[in-house]
Structure 1
Amino acid sequence: MKVVPVLRWMLRLILLAALAGGGAAYYYWSNSGRLLQEELVRRFDEVAPQLGLKIGSARIENADTTILQHVEIYDRSTDRPLFRAQQLVVDLDGQRLLQRQDVVVRTVRLQSADVLLARDETGRWNWQNYDFRLPADSGSSSLPHVVLEDVRLQVTLRHGEHLPTARLLLTCPGFQAVPRSQDAYDFDGQVALPGAGMLSLSGGCQLPTREWKLSGQMRDVSADRNLMDLAKAANPDVEGTLEQLDTRFEQFLPQPTNGSQQRPAGAALLIGNDSAVAPQFFGVLDIDFDAFGTPEMSVPQFRLRVEVRDGRLGSAAVPVTLSDVKARFYRDNENTIFHLDQAVSGHASVTGGFESGSAAGVSRGKAWFDVRRFPVNMELRPLLPEKTQRLFDAFRPDGQLSASGQVVRQADNTWQLQDVQAEVADGQATHQKFQYPARNIRATIRQRPFAATPAEGTIPALNASDVILDVQVSGMLGEHEFESQGWWLNPGTENETRFEMLVPQLPVDGRFRAALDERQLKVLDSLNVSGSVQGLLTFYRPPGRDMKTQVYVDARVSDGHLRFDKFPYDISNLSGRLKLDVLKKSWQFVELQGQHGNGLLTATGSFEGEPSPGRLSLQISAKNGELTADLYNALSPSQRRLWNMVRPDGYCDLTTQINWTAVPGQSVVVRFPEEKPIRIYNTRIRPTPFPLDMTIEEAFVSFNPNDVRFAGVQHCEIHSFRGTHDESPIRAAGWAELKPDGEWQVHLNDLSAKDLRPDDNLRAALPPSWQQALARLAHQGSVSLENSEMDFRGITSGQLNPTARWKLNVRLRDCTMRAGLDVSQVTGMVTADGVWDGYHLKNSGRIQMESAQVLEMPITGVTGPYSMTETELVLGAREVFTSENLSAVDRSRRVRARAYNGEVLLDSVVDLRPNGRYRLFTEISNALLEAYAALHIPEQRTLKGVVQAWMYLEGVGNTSAGLTGQGQMQISPAALYELPVMVKLLGTLSQLKFNVQDRTAFDYARMDFHVRNEAFEFDQIDLVGEDVSLRGRGSVGFGGDVLLDFYSRPARPTAISLPILNRLLTQWTKVEVRGTTSRPQTVSRPLGQLDQGLQQFLAPFNPTPGSPAPMLAVPQILRLTDPLLPRLRTQAAAQDRRAGTLVRP
């Protein structure tokens, strides 16, 4: 409601009534009261034709006073009263009235009046709808003094737009208008505003020009609920505004606790309707205003001044209450000024202000603030803008803030911070993403001067209007000091911020763990990390609306410990670098170093939390790592099974890649990559497939359980292997596999081993069936493998026997093999191609011996096939022992060799079972006796001859006790005279007057023998020469014992050859040879009459000197149609019987 128009129209109405009454005073004074009343009504009709006047009574007290009672003015069209007065007293200038009949009104006094004022929706007052005319005879020389007493103003305000009509009742205890001149008034008075107090008014008006001015003041006005009720009554739109404020408060103010909801608003002024959230203000106001207007002004000039003291502002939803509020407010047509001179809350104080103007040369607007020791905590959050709340939520501060600065409106109507300075004391903070409490925080904030600068460091390029605040922070994290610094660019909805916080040596303990969110804690728990952390935390918010603050951690770990629960391998003395991007939930592990025992470990890796549920990737490298139970326990069950197949004990350098998807129950994937294979060295192993104790000098292996080439199979690649067994070097490459069903396989290629001793350790490493075969190899010499290949298979449960497959190149050096007979000094190569199916052995190959010795006979260039099972060893061709015709046996399938410059064929079948039988058949052709002598009896250089022989042997086990067999040997020519036995024998014959002149050679020598009783039993020995011929028999033991009897007679005359004379004239001599082969002893005596047995033995011996030597007789089952020996042919049946017959094996 506007007070000035109301007062102006009230004054006009009163003046018109007074003039009308004064003009008619003389007439009514001269006549009766009735005529006075009628005249007053007539005159009023002339002044206000649209209004009517009712007067209860009218009387003239004297010449100076006229009294009107029960006066009413009403609207003629509606008959609605507009004015009622109990009494209207008009004081006249009686002297002028009597002397000049000039009516001069001196005073108009209105007592106990009711005035109806109404304003429509357009703002027009009801008095403005009526025409008022001054009477023609109203030209008075002066204006009356108007006095109003006990006036009640009933004000009706209509607002439209479905707003309810407001009705106010104002009282005016006293008001007077004092003429300042003939056409101007000065007035003053008081109006009682209900619930607000007394409004003192003063001012004036110029009637001809209708200029006016008005001043008012109120003192000690209580800003309380009554004042708000007055505002609501004057303008119902305030109700809607307050409801909007309630909605706004509910958006950014928290819901109060039950206790605060029950706290009544009391007498305080409620800035809203909901006492639970709306701010409440109580204080004392001093109000002054001035107004001035003319008809030409659309808006009057005004000035309003309000001073607030003893104020208190608070809200049930906000814990901060400002008291002792002192403020000043000034408003005029062009300027708005507000000064908050004082406001305190406990030890905190707030001052500030706001100025805004529209006149030229006046600031468009600025605000300033000065806050001292103001508590900043989460309870203050609701008072902040939404964007600032996010920053508040991120750090959760608690401390005291002192800050000052100003905000200046720019030409583009934007507001700009200037001269901002702030300090924080006794602060605490906990970041939402890393909830480690910081305390004793001290901070300073300083605004940089405006200047355009290029980008520098982390600060972007600035223009001259950019606002940047530098921030310095220090405090305590746990028991350690920290420092932080950063900047805040263009604070607002699109601000950019960056803070860097230097963290001291912070222990990774329970407090550190409690600072992490659930997912971060899950990662930390899975790693079981402990130690100390020193690093840099970076908080960065990119520029733009609704951007999230990014948190980066770059930390150094020291004195740490790590044990990943999915790969539980302890790492101590851990140090290195950790990076964390909180927004992306990304961990980076860089340059981690540690120890396990004497091993040095390094690690790099990451945990990427997005996309959910997150994935851990960790690469650990070890130097001098110990292959102990700790590493074994860290492996997966399948990897442990591979470990158990090798059973290592030593050291390794390895790189392992660990991958894990953070899903409960998800198994970790541990990979030893091919590009960075494990290096194993100085390690003792005893592989399950081949349990031979070995020491790995160096080996490289890799393992990748997710290799697509081996889907579903645990595959370990053996890139290289270099080791030893009893100083024997071993080399290999290959791979090992484990299938889901438990089947394992170990494959070795490029397998080489040098100078292995064929001892019990090597024998025990072989399958049981192989052990029987290797038992034939004596503990001497060495065995080497060259460029070989082996493959082992089995199942981890052990329910089935392991199997094997191989292709071996075995080099023997100075070995002895018991293949029935001892084969010693074996040197050369044997190939082996075989398989072991878990129960049976099947192997074949070729012999390529450089040298060997059989029956003390050195042989060289041994070549030929062989085959072997778990029960049998076959050298050469089995058909030799089964075929009726030896010529049907392919020579290439027999073992061939060279001995004493001759050729040897060898075939053997050996039963490898305990006490198994063995059979041997060998043939010698074109061997040179002189070669034999040069090797065995080099002092006897005259021994010569060409040797042809065959022999068949069989026995049981590895001893010679049960050795049996038979054979034949022929030497032709046979220069044997230097043999010790022959020396003794011929010497004895000389003593018997035998004419032995040619002591160089026999024409031939032939021996038929059997082998039994550990001796060579000679059925016959024929030595045929020109001077002497001998036939003998007997035995020579394996130990060299000699038991031989030779028979001889003088040579027959060549001229006469009559058989009867030969028998009569020939006398036999017997020479007995005893002793040993190296020291024979002879005894000779002539023979008399020959018994029948001796006659049968000697009778066939009738050699003819110079005739060809008889051929050797091979048994029928071994006879060759295309004999190896060119001169061998089948002899007569008698000779066969005499030579004996081989029984087919």
Structure 2
Amino acid sequence: MAGGLYFYNHVDDELRRRIEERFAQHYPELQIKVHAATLIPGEGIEVRGMTITQPGAAGPRVEVARFDEMLLACKASLSELIQHEPEFTEIRVRRPTLLATRRPDGTWSTGELLPFPQISEKPPRIVVEGGTVEIFDPLRNPTSKLSLRDVYLEVDPGVGGDNPESTTRRLHGFMVGDHVQRLEFEGELGDGGKQWSFRGTGEGLDLSPELYAALPGEVAAKLDVLRSLRASSQFRFSVQNSPDDASAIEYDLQGKIARGRIEDSRLPYPLTDVFALVRCTNQGVHISELRARNGQTAIYVREAWRRGNEANSPLFANLQCERLVIDRRLLDILPEQWRARWYDFFLEGIVNVNAIVHYDGQSWQPDVSVECLDTSFTYHKFPYRLENGQGHVRLKDDRLDFLLSTYSGADQVLIQGNVQNLYQDPGLWLEVRADRLAIDKKLLESLPPTSRAVLTSFSPSGHFRVDFEARRQPGPQQPVSRRLRLQLDHCSMRYDRFPYPIHNVTGTVEMLGDEWEFRNLEGTNDTGELRGYGRLGPTASGRELRLNISGANIALEQELRNALPLHSQRLWDNLQPRGSVQLATDIRYQIDTKQLAIGVSALPVAETVSIQPVFFPYRIENIRGELSYANGRVVLGRAPRGEIKGQHQGVDVALRGVCDLAPDGRWRLALDDLTVYRLRADRDLQAAVSPRLNPWLRRLDPASAINLSGRVELLGGGAGNQPPQAQWNMRITTQGANLVAGLPLTNISGEAHLQGGFDGAKMSARAELDLDSVTWKNMQITSVTGPARVDGEHILLGAWADKDLPQGRPRPITGKAYGGWLMSDGWVKLEATPRYGWQITAGDLDVARIGRELLPGTQSLSGKLNGGVNLRGSTEGIHTLTGTGYMRLRDADLYQLPQMVQLLNIVSLKPPDATAFTNSEADFRVDGDHLYFDRINFTGDAISLKGQGEMNLNTDVALTFYALVGRDELEIPLIPELFRAASRQLMLIHVDGKLTEPSIRRDPFPVVGKALEQLQADLQNGAPPKNPQRLGLLSPRNGSARRGGWGDRANPQSIAREPARPAQSERKGGLLR
């Protein structure tokens, strides 16, 4: 009784202990703790606070399960429990917590709970209410935890006999969780829990990165898509362990995704409105009816699958994209080999895509059709971007076909072709056509550096038609053949090496391989028309550009001048050409060495071309002949067209020569065959010559013409605006020229040889005269020869020109006149008012010829005349003229002269005969327009006359003579027009008036008195009259008379500025007395 009472009082504790033992026997590796157990008669045993732990478990969470309340239903009473084991019909568990923790070995802690404990002979029905399942994976980084709540589970007793190990138990239930609204499931457990399978459905499953983070690692690895997916889904699933390997799990998950959004770094942009049917199994993933959008892009996946879950698992996709935006962001989802091709073309734009893609684990087999709606792209080797592309592109396996219509700006470009063996040693056919394409910066920057440099050097603009074709056969080391044909359409260009602008350019440019050919090029520049052809390609010395350009009616204007090299521009500036020419230009440019060679040939257009040199501004017009340029040399008058010819108001110029142009701007012009016909000293020539020569050039009669021929060399282009240096060797011929250079010279005919030069500051020249005829004062002088020289300050003639010769005697200028000879020397001082000196000596002049040619009437004169004159003056006027002279007449019959007959009658001689006067002498001085006769002697056998006086250039005379009986041996000056009959008595004779009609009167000897004595004394002493005014040369009405000899113009200070005179011993004719 006492024992029974004790058991009754401790029955609950005993039940608790026996329950712990029963579970511990089933789970020997686990630790079972029961807080309390109570027998409820008629219902069963109620267990509270039961925990199952795994002592010594590796990792966190040794607790496996926790049961707040468990009812073990049975009909046993207390006595029955004491007597035998109860038969439980149901186990009802309320608010259990199942803690599934992944162990370091990959197993789960809950795996220790299977199979379920055997607490009765027949498996009871199990009901779980309000349960919680926590799935914890500490092996994942970071750790993951997934909680399922409100778990309801029913496990039926099972079928299969009395052996629990062979009993298959069915279960079903539902639950909710953090990421699922409701999960219903059912399944079977067999073989004592070793075999199991489950299936079920889920609603309101929120697929998200948070769900991905909560999943165990091995499950998350197979659902990587959840990292970027947010969607609501419904699904059904089945999962079981393998019959052959209980640890191997087989699963089949099928679901529907709706209202999804995918944001994946592997995608170029987020996808929204995602809908798809998805099935995941151990064999892979299968997707169908996938739809998604991104802005205007719509994506349709009819079918896609991946067999396996490895990185190289085979996959297949059949998809369609509408208005897919292609840009750099799309690169990341492309296979590597496709990505490399994208960089070849930099494709962007909007396309429609139909793609069937298969990957066998090693290679891709694509069949992609692309409809280009609005695309742009550029080829990396020719980065000329094309836009607004429309057309079709198809990639099937390793073959790419394309047909596109694109635009560059407003210009359409058609592209078609294909690529075979796309991924290795491809074959290529490409054709590009454009009817009109702009030459602009975009095009130039697309060319390879070498081609760009060449084409940019032409500064091209305008439009052209293009036809391009490229071909390559498949296989290793196969060359690419390229052919490009450009048809220029009213383009413009300006070559920087010869920047002459050309407009309206048409023609053909063709590239074949590495060679370019230019054909039928035509263009204009104002009225000029140009044609050309050329080539760019390899030569033995490297790549060379060669252009041949011919031009018609090319204007010689500033544009052409600016196109020339610097040295040519300076020559142009010095010559100032105008007009139009025909051009032929040969341009060669070595691209590797950057060496340029330009050859130019020019022919003036008839009657249009002229030049007016800056250094000699004498305009030459109507220039004809060929001019050529090559390698810095200009050739003037190249054969066979002969010489260069031009005109200036009746003056003809012809020449041949060369002009060498140095890179620093200097130039050398050598005219080896210069000829000038009919050159006149007109105003144009006077304005062109040096200011020092201008006053003397004015003294040439403008109607007089001279001819020049010989060689001229000019050097110019130095620093500053210095005039060119010059050298010349010329032959000058003239016929009938007139010159006033101190003394008037007319009817000059003959030639002179002129050599000299100009050093930029001073001119020096030497001439040899060889004149046929010169007229002075109606006196013709023939065979005029002798030297002349210009030294920059003087013009020197005769001995003055020869005085500095290292050897030989100075030579005068010599000539012939009236059967005799003449010698002359002279100089001109080149200053503001030029001064000059002139010395002439005459000998053996035939008086008879002088009489016939100079004196009126008929005379039978004879005799020889000798004389000389030394004159000095300036171009200021005749009033500056001074000098001295003399005349000697021998064996002359002066009695033939009418004036002499009149004079002889005055002195009352008998009619004149051969013994009248035979010799005469006169010494005179020149002062302005006056001649002062210091001594005049007429000597004859019967009578002699002596006198003195003066005369002006108007032939007004004032002479005084006295007569002597018999021959006087003194010198008698000759004044040929002063003779009149004289009486036989000695007397003074006065001659006044005009020389041709003199008034002669006598003054008897007694009347003259002292005057006669004084006159005789003066004549014997050779002195001038002490009072010349007594001679009455000019009356007041005729102006004041000039007096004196050299005056101020002969003072030492004045003579010091004149050239040094030759030594007296070197002179012929004794001019300096």
Common fold: TM-score over 0.5:
yes
Secondary structure in structure 2 of the residue aligned to 1:769: coil
Q: Aligned partners of 2:134, 2:424: CA distance in 1, in Å?
A: 47
Q: Aligned partners of 1:923, 1:134: CA distance in 2, in Å?
A: 171
Q: Which amino acid aligns with 1:152?
A: G
Q: Aligned partners of 2:724, 2:297: CA distance in 1, in Å?
A: 89
On the 8 A contact 1:503/1:537 being kept in 2, the answer is no
Cα 1:82/1:405, change in 2 over 3 Å = closer
**Equivalent residue runs for 1:405-416 within 5 Å:** 405-410=355-360, 413-416=362-365
Q: After TM superposition, give the deviation of residue 375 of structure 1 in Å.
A: 4.0
Residue equivalent to 1:306: 255
Q: Select the residue among 838, 841, 846 that pairs with 1:919.
A: 838
Q: Select the residue among 240, 258, 281 that pairs with 1:291.
A: 240
Alignment pair present for 1:121 and 2:88: no
1:360-409 superposed Cα distances (whole Å, 9 cap, x missing partner): xxx9623334324324266976876698699599867443x222223332
Residue equivalent to 1:811: 732
Q: After TM superposition, give the deviation of residue 121 of structure 1 in Å.
A: 2.3
Q: Select the residue among 812, 835, 847 that pairs with 2:769.
A: 847
Q: After TM superposition, give the deviation of residue 786 of structure 1 in Å.
A: 0.9
Alignment pair present for 1:72 and 2:45: no
Cα 1:334/1:1090, change in 2 over 3 Å = same
Q: Which amino acid aligns with 1:421?
A: S
Q: After TM superposition, give the deviation of residue 693 of structure 1 in Å.
A: 1.6
Alignment pair present for 1:373 and 2:349: no
Residue equivalent to 1:250: none
Q: After TM superposition, give the deviation of residue 692 of structure 1 in Å.
A: 1.0
Q: Aligned partners of 1:237, 1:861: CA distance in 2, in Å?
A: 133
1:524-583 superposed Cα distances (whole Å, 9 cap, x missing partner): 999998654544799999x9xxxxxxx999866534567999999765435568999xxx
Q: After TM superposition, give the deviation of residue 214 of structure 1 in Å.
A: 1.1
Alignment pair present for 1:185 and 2:168: yes
On the 8 A contact 1:627/1:650 being kept in 2, the answer is yes
Residue equivalent to 1:764: 687
**Equivalent residue runs for 1:633-1032 within 5 Å:** 645-652=574-581, 675-676=599-600, 682-695=608-621, 697=623, 722-726=645-649, 727-731=651-655, 749-750=671-672, 752-755=674-677, 756-778=679-701, 779-790=703-714, 805-814=726-735, 815-819=737-741, 820-822=743-745, 824-835=747-758, 842-849=764-771, 862-868=784-790, 872-878=794-800, 891=809, 893-896=811-814, 905-909=823-827, 918-922=837-841, 951-952=868-869, 954=871, 965-968=885-888
Residue equivalent to 2:1040: none
**TM-score scaled to structure 1, two decimals?**
0.60
Q: After TM superposition, give the deviation of residue 186 of structure 1 in Å.
A: 3.6
On the 8 A contact 1:673/1:703 being kept in 2, the answer is no
Residue equivalent to 2:995: none
Cα 1:118/1:879, change in 2 over 3 Å = closer
Q: Which amino acid aligns with 2:314?
A: G
Cα 1:553/1:238, change in 2 over 3 Å = farther
On the 8 A contact 2:172/2:187 being kept in 1, the answer is no
1:57-95 superposed Cα distances (whole Å, 9 cap, x missing partner): 353746xx643432625449589684425233345899x
Secondary structure in structure 2 of the residue aligned to 1:685: coil
Between 521-530 and 815-824, the greater mean CA deviation after superposition: 521-530
Q: Which amino acid aligns with 1:87?
A: M
Q: Aligned partners of 1:956, 1:284: CA distance in 2, in Å?
A: 131
Q: Select the residue among 332, 335, 338 that pairs with 2:287.
A: 338
Q: After TM superposition, give the deviation of residue 729 of structure 1 in Å.
A: 1.3
Q: After TM superposition, give the deviation of residue 766 of structure 1 in Å.
A: 1.0
Residue equivalent to 1:484: 415
Residue equivalent to 1:447: 395
Q: Aligned partners of 1:933, 1:46: CA distance in 2, in Å?
A: 183
Secondary structure in structure 2 of the residue aligned to 1:196: coil
Secondary structure in structure 1 of the residue aligned to 2:48: strand
| Number of residue-to-residue matches in the alignment | 892
Q: After TM superposition, give the deviation of residue 877 of structure 1 in Å.
A: 0.8
Q: Which amino acid aligns with 1:147?
A: I
**TM-score scaled to structure 2, two decimals?**
0.63
Cα 1:49/1:766, change in 2 over 3 Å = closer
Q: After TM superposition, give the deviation of residue 469 of structure 1 in Å.
A: 1.8
Secondary structure in structure 2 of the residue aligned to 1:683: coil
Residue equivalent to 2:992: none
Q: After TM superposition, give the deviation of residue 783 of structure 1 in Å.
A: 2.6
Q: Aligned partners of 2:214, 2:374: CA distance in 1, in Å?
A: 49
Tell me the C-alpha RMSD between the 2 structures: 7.1
**Equivalent residue runs for 1:320-331 within 5 Å:** 322=271, 325-331=274-280
Q: Select the residue among 353, 369, 377 that pairs with 1:421.
A: 369
Q: After TM superposition, give the deviation of residue 422 of structure 1 in Å.
A: 1.6
Q: Which amino acid aligns with 1:289?
A: S
Q: Which amino acid aligns with 2:623?
A: E
Residue equivalent to 2:34: 54
Residue equivalent to 2:213: 232
Q: Aligned partners of 2:765, 2:823: CA distance in 1, in Å?
A: 22
Cα 1:512/1:1124, change in 2 over 3 Å = closer
Between 560-569 and 370-379, the greater mean CA deviation after superposition: 560-569
Q: Aligned partners of 1:281, 1:128: CA distance in 2, in Å?
A: 32
Secondary structure in structure 2 of the residue aligned to 1:690: coil
On the 8 A contact 2:212/2:220 being kept in 1, the answer is no
Q: Which amino acid aligns with 2:370?
A: A
On the 8 A contact 1:828/1:851 being kept in 2, the answer is no
Residue equivalent to 1:664: none
Q: After TM superposition, give the deviation of residue 650 of structure 1 in Å.
A: 1.4
Q: After TM superposition, give the deviation of residue 358 of structure 1 in Å.
A: 6.5
Structure 2 gap ranges (5+): 1-6, 57-61, 475-481, 536-545, 589-594, 638-643, 900-909, 958-964, 968-974, 990-1060
Q: After TM superposition, give the deviation of residue 598 of structure 1 in Å.
A: 0.6
Q: Aligned partners of 2:794, 2:24: CA distance in 1, in Å?
A: 157
Cα 1:811/1:447, change in 2 over 3 Å = same
Residue equivalent to 1:469: 400
Q: Aligned partners of 1:868, 1:224: CA distance in 2, in Å?
A: 115
Cα 1:220/1:592, change in 2 over 3 Å = farther
Q: After TM superposition, give the deviation of residue 475 of structure 1 in Å.
A: 4.9
Residue equivalent to 1:348: 298
Q: After TM superposition, give the deviation of residue 1073 of structure 1 in Å.
A: 11
Residue equivalent to 1:461: none
Q: After TM superposition, give the deviation of residue 784 of structure 1 in Å.
A: 0.5
On the 8 A contact 1:166/1:236 being kept in 2, the answer is no
Residue equivalent to 1:215: 198
Q: Aligned partners of 1:271, 1:133: CA distance in 2, in Å?
A: 34
Alignment pair present for 1:624 and 2:550: no
On the 8 A contact 2:277/2:287 being kept in 1, the answer is yes
Secondary structure in structure 1 of the residue aligned to 2:692: helix
Q: Aligned partners of 2:343, 2:570: CA distance in 1, in Å?
A: 56
Q: Aligned partners of 1:388, 1:955: CA distance in 2, in Å?
A: 105
Q: After TM superposition, give the deviation of residue 722 of structure 1 in Å.
A: 4.9
Residue equivalent to 2:960: none
Secondary structure in structure 2 of the residue aligned to 1:764: helix
Residue equivalent to 2:1057: none
Q: After TM superposition, give the deviation of residue 423 of structure 1 in Å.
A: 0.9
1:741-790 superposed Cα distances (whole Å, 9 cap, x missing partner): xx999866537232123434323321122123333433323231411235
Secondary structure in structure 2 of the residue aligned to 1:786: strand
Q: Which amino acid aligns with 2:300?
A: V
Secondary structure in structure 2 of the residue aligned to 1:768: coil
Q: After TM superposition, give the deviation of residue 150 of structure 1 in Å.
A: 0.5
Q: After TM superposition, give the deviation of residue 792 of structure 1 in Å.
A: 7.1
Secondary structure in structure 1 of the residue aligned to 2:689: coil
Q: Aligned partners of 2:404, 2:233: CA distance in 1, in Å?
A: 42
Residue equivalent to 2:72: 89
Q: Which amino acid aligns with 2:839?
A: L
**Equivalent residue runs for 1:577-588 within 5 Å:** none
Cα 1:861/1:481, change in 2 over 3 Å = same
The share of aligned pairs that are identical, in percent, is 17
